[in-house]
């Protein structure tokens, strides 16, 4: 099995990027690309010897022209997968179609609940007892692509947005490397009906009940 190439897109501090770089994934991280020159993740990538590039969305007249330029840059690295790690741009339908089945994102909620921004504040406002994060394939329907893996955490009575976010982020750092490892090892099949099927893996049943039963 040939080693896969991945390109990681970032916009900010690079928390999930750092975890991916440290995970010893069975792939070559060909480049880290940011739409912001001041993204902290660029320094993290450089410290790991990974090539970096910046393509500023403010230099383009509209989203489609930026996405076209971004795609041209990405394609110079010949990626098998394009991984979004805190990339804070909504991608056009054309860009998403170009990388169908190869474009991966992590989102801080249990999708399809709480797509978009401010997920932790919205979860607290609604009083949900279980929250979490999701790794999924990206489609033109924002934050509603086929789900690869999710992690759930309890929402505690005294949680603030910050404490809940920290608990979810801890799980993001666990499931994102796992998802990319599965992809690079050809353990996942994205079917035409949008379902994600696992090869060579037996799944077990576990329940998270919050608050716990007495």
DSSP string across 94-157: HHHHHTTTTEEEEESSSTTTT-SS-HHHHHHHHT-SEEEEEEEE--SSTT-SPEEEEEEEEPPT
Catalytic positions, written as ranges: 107
3 state SS of 81 = strand
The structure tokens listed for 148 are: 């690869």
Q: What are phi and psi of 192, to 5 degrees?
A: -65, -25
Find tokens 């010897």 and name the residue. Answer: 49
DSSP string across 6-67: EEEEESSS-HHHHHHHHTT-SEEEEEEEES-TT-HHHHHHHHTT--EEE--GGGSSSHHHHH
How far, in Å, are 52, 86, 207 from residue 212 at the CA level? 46, 33, 11
Residues 6+ apart with CB under 8 A from 98: 71
């Amino acid at each position: 099995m040939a080693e896969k190439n991945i390109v990681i897109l970032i916009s900010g501090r690079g928390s999930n990027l750092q975890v991916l770089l440290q995970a010893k994934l069975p792939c070559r991280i060909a480049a880290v690309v940011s739409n912001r020159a001041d993204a902290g993740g660029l320094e993290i990538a450089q410290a790991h010897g990974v090539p970096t590039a910046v393509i500023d969305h403010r230099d383009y007249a509209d989203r489609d022209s930026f996405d076209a330029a971004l795609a041209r840059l990405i394609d110079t690295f010949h990626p098998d997968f394009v991984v979004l790690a805190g990339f804070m741009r909504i991608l056009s339908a054309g860009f998403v179609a170009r990388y169908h089945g190869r474009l991966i994102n992590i989102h801080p909620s249990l999708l399809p609940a709480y797509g978009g921004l401010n997920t932790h504040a919205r979860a607290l406002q609604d009083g949900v007892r279980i929250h979490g994060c999701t790794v999924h394939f990206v489609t033109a329907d924002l934050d509603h692509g086929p789900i690869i893996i999710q992690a759930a955490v309890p929402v505690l009575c005294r949680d603030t947005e910050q404490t809940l976010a920290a608990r979810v982020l801890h799980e993001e750092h666990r499931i994102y490397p796992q998802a990319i490892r599965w992809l690079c090892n050809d353990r996942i099949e994205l079917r035409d009906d949008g379902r994600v099927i696992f090869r060579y893996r037996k799944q077990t049943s576990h329940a998270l009940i919050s608050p716990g039963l007495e």
